[in-house]
Amino acid sequence: MFSAEPVEWSNLLGGEVTNNAASARFAPDDVRGLPAGDFDIVLVTTAGERVCKIKTDERARLTR
């Protein structure tokens, strides 16, 4: 499941900053079904690409 929503916050100069917050949820069985070792999650948007590496020890915590 993927969700995104706009977020706003103030900067030190008193201006407003607008961006997006995103989250993704994967079924534990889908993660367990991946080959052993590290894996990458890549989010591709019109603004660019973001890569998050999931190390083996983090993966173990996610699928307990």
Confidence check: pLDDT of 59 > 90? no
- Tell me the pLDDT tens digit for each residue of 6-35: 999 998 888 998 888 888 888 888 888 889
Structural contact between residues 54 and 39, judged by C-beta atoms closer than 8 angstroms = yes
Type of residue at 57: D
CA distances 38 to 3, 9, 35, 41, Å, are 24, 34, 9, 10
The model scores a pTM over 0.75: no
The per-residue pLDDT for 10 is 92
Please give the structure tokens belonging to residue 39: 């894996």
